[in-house]
Structure 1
Amino acid sequence: MKYFLALHIFLLLHAQNYKWPTDASYGLTSAFAEYRENRFHAGIDISTWNKEGYKVFAIDTGYVYRIWTQPYGYGRALYIKLNDGRIVVYGHLQRYSKKIESYIRSIQVREKKYNQNVYLRRNQIPVSKGEVVALTGSTGIGTPHLHFEIRENMNTNLHTLQFYPWFKDNIYPSVAALAAVSLDDTTLVNGNRVFTDIKLKEIKKHMFQAMDTLRIDGKAGLTINVYDQNYKSSNTTGVDELSLFINGELVFNSRFRETLYSKNHYVNLDRNFFFVKYYGKRYQNLFLHPDNKLDAYIQSEKAFLSTENIGSNVFDYRIIVSDYKKNQIEISGSAKFEEQEESYQPLEIKEIFQNNPLFYNNHLISVTNGKPENTDQLAGIIYWDKTTDNRYDAGDFRFVTDQSDLYQSTFVTHFELDKSLFPTVDYKSAIIYFVPYDLLLKNRITVQHLGELGDREAIYSWDERKKRWDFRRFDYGADIQQITERSLELYTVIKDTVPPAIRFVSTKKSKTLFLVSVDDDLSGIHDEENYELFSGDQKIIAEYDYEDNVLRIEPDDIQRNQYLKIYLRDNVGNYTADSLFVK
């Protein structure tokens, strides 16, 4: 035991000597364990001031463990295994160091493929502490920055800043919003059945107070939208720790020191998925979902706000929000339990006219005629006829699940939406809106298209943030066309007959990357399966940037006085080709 403790202390002290991974900055643009779609953020993002080309260092001695090149995710990524056994990950790199670039480039050229995922042995590419191993970039998802992780193993991500105790931050967190949510179908909070916003006022620096007493009839919970900054960056990031006190007693605490890839799906239980899906807001729950199996919490039953749990009809609450350096803000308020009726005010009817309603964004009915008016939400509990099954048919689509995919039995229905409210494309089915839109899923569920899809037809789902239809890949050879989902979306079938476009950005050979613009407005281009390039008769490789819609070609691959030929098809098979004579 003494030997183990001494070894643990030695490794911890050694780890505190890790070098900072870049000379770009000490500013953070994203924090550890922030919300990402269906997962936790596995490390930190370091600001590169929206520029590329800063040095990336080996934080300690080790060897190159993995090199991964792809258009998506981390783009050009580098994994270094340190001598202490930990694994360091760098993402969105512009370029590797000369010896690493030479190694992966030889594999790409040999296999005529840019996309590679290569694991190396210990003695192949050793690195020393402080050695430049790459340059920062913007490959994969996002603007220029450096994604940086420290892993205990390939499944466990560690809180990165614990290895940099000297890291400075004197900026306090901020609160964007606080809400109380109903935890069952019969609860009312301030007369509302789903949630109520709690208005706050700042009573002194870093201290906020609820403006009104919260009224609860049933069982409720608190959820909060907060963010942080640090002194070297203007970006907002996630906070480090949340604590809830009821009548002075700690009843809930959330603080992440590690995340596991095998438990990433619990992020939708840690955060409030209702606000994510309907409003695009990132609230964190101050209560523990009964199916949440993460080890990041302290909780008592009093976090579930009910008369039975708290034992009195009135109570005070206090929330403390902390960043990693213990800068704190405090939010306080009072609440009482009382019977209440649902609060709503009927609309005064100004005019009756025909229009298809859009059941979307928390069941708000959206119309487009005349001056905008306040609208009323569904004003009560509706009891539907229901049957128990593991599938549900909705027009041309079928929702298929298994008991192990859901946290609880769930009522599912659907609406068909008005196509005029979406972009004008060649729709081949109704637009299906599955309800509940914020259904919590434990595993991926299946959405099938019933019947055969025609030529150039495919399943699409709606991206509310980007306001566009996204092509969904599936197995064209299967008897039933199907996709798997982590959350329910809006679905339709669209026919795309427009071929992609090619434009030569670069027109002559030079020492810089040769750029070719490739664009498709609907089904899109996925990766190098969709294109082939030839310089003369020699097949060459290119790096595809799906955000900028360009192919990047190494200048040494371009032959002078030869035609550069490009063959390009989109995801449903529309084809185009072009060529350029390069002098």
Structure 2
Amino acid sequence: MDIKKVFILGVSLINMLFLTAQDSLPLNYFRSPLDIPLYLSGNFGELRSNHFHSGLDIKTQGVEGQKIYAVADGFVSRIRISPYGYGNAIYIDHPNGYTSVYAHLQKYEGKIAEEIKKYQYKNKTWEMDYYPSDTLLKVKKGQLIALSGNSGSSGGPHLHFEIRETKSECPINPLLLGFDLKDDVHPTLRSIVIYPLTDSSVVNNINKPQHVRVTGNRGDYKLISTTANFAYGPIGIGVDVIDQLTGVSNKNGVYEIKLFVNNQEVFYSKIDKFCFDESRALNALIDYEYYLKTNQRIQKSFILPNNTLSIYKNQKDKGVVFIDYEKEYDFRYEITDVYQNKSILSFKIVGMNTRITKSTKQAQTTDTLFSYADSNFFENTFLQVSIPKNALYDDLPFHFSISDTMRSAISPTYQVHKETTPIHLPITVGIKVGRLAENLRKKAVIVAIDANKKYYSRGGEWRNNYLVASSKTFGGFAVMLDTIAPKIEPINIFSNKNLENQKSIQFKISDNLSGIKFYNGFIDGKWVIMEFDGKTSKLTYYFDVISKGNHVFKLEVIDGVENKQSIEIPFIR
């Protein structure tokens, strides 16, 4: 008997039994959204910047223009077009209570495309977030709805595909639904981190996280170093782990992480579903400070007090383990992907045999202590900071300082705690500045300043004598003035050019601070659709029906504080 065939059959049966166990999910209800083999560049729950990945990134063979099909009967419930995020996207509600989402599209097809153009001209906008009635755009399973693309914030041609619960809008893991993908690759463990969690905790005689490298393959892992790791007090463990699928090199996320101590499960996470309002708590799951410094994500197997992620399925003492003197603790990670390929890492941590008599960490001064369970407010002569309830993941020893005024700023830089501390909800920052003429007040914005002294506009509105804006991060803040109009650069048009053989007119637009707010194009005074690519800052008009002869193209661009730039160019068609 062919042993290899028996093994493959066995794995297939295990996968079938596993998927069948998901009896509340619509197994094999949906067809593939593409008619090419499915290979993934990103999977569900993968760790991304400030969020979990909410679907599958399906490769489109490196090109745009692959046919996209409705995965089941239903109706188009939403159409969104944006230069950022999902780009061109379609949402289809299905009668079984689920919604399919198709994003980063190149173009729409059939009646959907006709309805979009009608909406855009009626509302004089290319960007749109449109909710058609449930009778307007009905679709059948297998109906062509769009072509794949690279729109929005996509980093290359692919289809972003989701399945959501229609009522809650929470995405679920599409790989639980029976789509035809191949995977016999075990998760890859790269390192662990041992964290001392209090001032009196130590790991290998110091009060700092200890990174320990891992070696192994095909599901069997061990620590590279054979030297014992000693600790005392409350500790937590983190793991650097990725997953891959058969036939592709992309690094994806894992499905389940279990941590055992002395054969008792102390932590269990599973990414089968999440909701968008909790997704930012990914920053509490990972070692956020380490990520900002290294761009590597360590997944912590212990839970901060106000981290309420639903992916945590079981935990003991929030995953915190107390290491006592002269005792030995057997740790074991069991990490699996959605197809139940499992990797195991076993290691020991030994309690120190030398007693600690005092804290190893020097006490730091704190301006005030903020509770995560309350709303919090900080104020001095020129600054107000409001932190809403549940914005913090843990109680916060809050720090504040003032730095010199940056070049181009009209206020000092106010350092509002540290950008390495993640927050779940936006904070409000208000800065008082000196006397400003009314015309300059309209041009003022608050900027957020990162550790590299780069600054980004957060906008702002005046409330009494404070310029107020919201921010999703702590860090430095100051006030700057934006008095410079946006810049318009023609790409393929100049005065009186004959455009008879061109398919489009293109411009590049940019702004120095507050960002592009509006743009409008006109031919002979009539509004036309201008498509904006946020990655390249290019605006494009694709020629529609236009008479032969002389014409004038006009483009208007307005930034976030109403600085306006316009250009008029005569052309021949």
- Name the TM tier (shorter chain): 0.7 to 0.9
What does 1:306-385 align with in structure 2 at a 5 Å threshold?
Answer: 306-307=322-323, 313-338=327-352, 339=354, 380-384=362-366
Please state if 1:291 is matched with 2:337.
no
Three-state SS of the structure 2 residue aligned to 1:411 is strand
Question: Do the aligned partners of 2:202 and 2:232 also contact (CA within 8 Å) in 1?
Answer: yes
Q: The residue matched to 2:86 in structure 1 has which SS?
A: coil
Q: 1:68 to 1:385 in 2, by over 3 A?
A: closer
1:300 aligns with 2:316: yes
Contact 1:42 1:157 (8 Å CA) reproduced? yes
CA distance in 1, matches of 2:400, 2:250: 39
Q: Do the aligned partners of 2:290 and 2:297 also contact (CA within 8 Å) in 1?
A: yes
Map 1:68-87; keep pairs closer than 5 Å.
68-87=80-99
Give 3-state SS (helix, strand or coil) of 1:572's partner: coil
Q: Deviations over 1:81-107 (max 9, x none)?
A: 113221101111111112101001101
More moved, 326-335 vs 477-486: 477-486
Alignment-derived partner of residue 106 in structure 1: 118
Of the three residues 150, 153, 161, the one matched with 1:148 is 161
Relative to structure 1, the CA distance from residue 324 to residue 418 in structure 2 (aligned partners, 3 Å threshold; closer, same or farther) is farther
Structure 2, unpaired ranges of 5+: 1-19, 494-498
Among 466, 475, 491, the alignment partner of 2:477 is 491
Q: Distance in 2 between matches of 1:544 and 1:203?
A: 46
The 3-state SS of whatever aligns with 1:563 is strand
* Aligned residue identity for 2:131: Y
Aligned residue among 167, 185, 205 for 1:191: 205
Worse-matched range after superposition: 389-398 or 315-324? 389-398
Match of 1:576 among 561, 565, 568: 565
**Distance apart, 1:165 and its partner CA:** 5.1
Q: 1: distance between equivalents of 2:109 and 2:330?
A: 58
- Which of 268, 277, 281 is equivalent to 1:253? 268
542-551 or 268-277, larger mean C-alpha shift? 268-277
Alignment counterpart, residue 555 of structure 1, candidates 525, 529, 543: 543
Aligned to 2:10: none
User: 5+ unaligned residues in a row in structure 1: which ranges?
Assistant: 1-7, 343-377
Structure 1 residue 429 corresponds to structure 2 residue 411: yes
| Aligned pairs (5 A) from 1:144-543 | 144-153=157-166, 154-164=168-178, 166-202=180-216, 206-211=220-225, 212-296=227-311, 297-301=313-317, 303-307=319-323, 313-338=327-352, 339=354, 380-384=362-366, 386=368, 390-393=376-379, 396-416=382-402, 426-451=408-433, 454=440, 456-462=443-449, 468-475=454-461, 480-507=466-493, 508-510=499-501, 512-526=503-517, 529=518, 531-543=519-531
Work out the percentage of aligned pairs sharing the same amino acid: 25
Q: 1: distance between equivalents of 2:413 and 2:294?
A: 20
Are the aligned partners of 1:540 and 1:557 in contact in 2 as well (CA < 8 Å)?
no
Conserved in 1, the CA contact under 8 Å of 2:219 and 2:344?
Answer: no
Report the CA distance shift for 1:10/1:230 in structure 2 as closer, same or farther (over 3 A). Answer: closer
Partner residue in 1 for 2:496: none
For the residues of structure 2 that align with 1:320 and 1:98, how far apart are their CA atoms?
49
Q: Closer, same or farther in 2 for the Cα pair 1:401/1:306, shift >3 Å?
A: same
Q: CA deviation at 1:535?
A: 0.7
Alignment of 1:84-95 (within 5 A): 84-95=96-107
2:15 paired residue number: none
Equivalent in the alignment of 2:128: 116
**Contact 1:270/1:285 (8 A) holds in 2:** yes
Q: Secondary structure at the match of 2:396?
A: coil
Mean alpha-carbon deviation: is it higher for 61-70 or for 232-241?
A: 232-241
Which position in structure 2 is the counterpart of 1:63?
Answer: 75
Q: Which amino acid aligns with 2:487?
A: A
User: Residues 482 and 185 (structure 1 numbering): CA distance in 2 closer, same or farther, change over 3 Å?
Assistant: farther
1:210 Cα shift?
4.8
SS of 1:225's equivalent in the other structure is strand
Q: Which moved more, 1:554-563 or 1:86-95?
A: 554-563
Q: Quick one: which amino acid aligns to residue 160 of structure 1?
A: P
Q: Which moved more, 1:410-419 or 1:388-397?
A: 388-397
CA contact (8 A) 1:213 1:333 kept: no
Query: Could you tell me which residue of structure 2 aligns to residue 567 of structure 1?
Result: 556
Contact 2:418 2:475 in 1 (8 A): no
2: distance between equivalents of 1:385 and 1:30?
43
> How many residue pairs end up in the alignment?
532
How far off its partner does 1:185 sit? 3.1
Over the aligned positions, Cα root-mean-square deviation in angstroms equals 3.2
Amino acid at match of 2:319: A
Amino acid at match of 1:44: L
CA deviations 1:510-563 (Å, max 9, x no partner) are: 56343221123433324xx2x222111112231222221011223117665211
How far 1:171 moved relative to its partner?
A: 2.6
**Tell me, what secondary structure is at the counterpart of 1:236?**
coil
Moved more, 76-85 or 9-18: 9-18
Q: Which residue of 1 aligns with 2:4?
A: none
SS of alignment partner, residue 391 of structure 1: strand
In structure 2, give the amino acid aligned to 1:114: W
Name the CA shift for 1:112/1:470 in 2 (closer, same or farther; >3 Å). Answer: same
Partners of 1:97 and 1:132 within 8 A in 2: yes
Q: Which stretch of structure 1 is more off in the superposition, 195-204 or 155-164?
A: 195-204
Q: Tell me the amino acid that sits aligned with residue 542 of structure 2.
A: E
Code of the residue aligned with 1:446 in structure 2: it is: T
Which residue of structure 2 aligns with residue 29 of structure 1? 41
107 and 165 in structure 1: CA distance in 2 versus 1, 3 angstrom threshold: closer
Sort the Cα spacing of 1:434 and 1:180 in 2 relative to 1 into closer, same or farther, 3 A: farther
Q: What is the rounded CA distance, in whole Å, between the counterparts of 2:22 and 2:255 in structure 1?
A: 26
Q: Distance in 1 between matches of 2:251 and 2:381?
A: 42
CA distance in 1, matches of 2:176, 2:140: 22
Give, as a single letter, the amino acid of the residue that structure 1 aligns with 2:120: Q
Cα distance, 1:483 vs. partner? 2.0
SS in 1 for 2:250: strand
Once the two structures are superposed, residues 31-76 of structure 1 have per-residue CA deviations (whole angstroms, 9 ceiling, x without a partner) of 2122334432221211234432111110111111111122222111
Closer, same or farther in 2 for the Cα pair 1:412/1:288, shift >3 Å?
closer
The residue number in structure 2 matching 1:367 is none
**C-alpha distance 496-24 of structure 1, shift in aligned 2 (>3 A):** farther
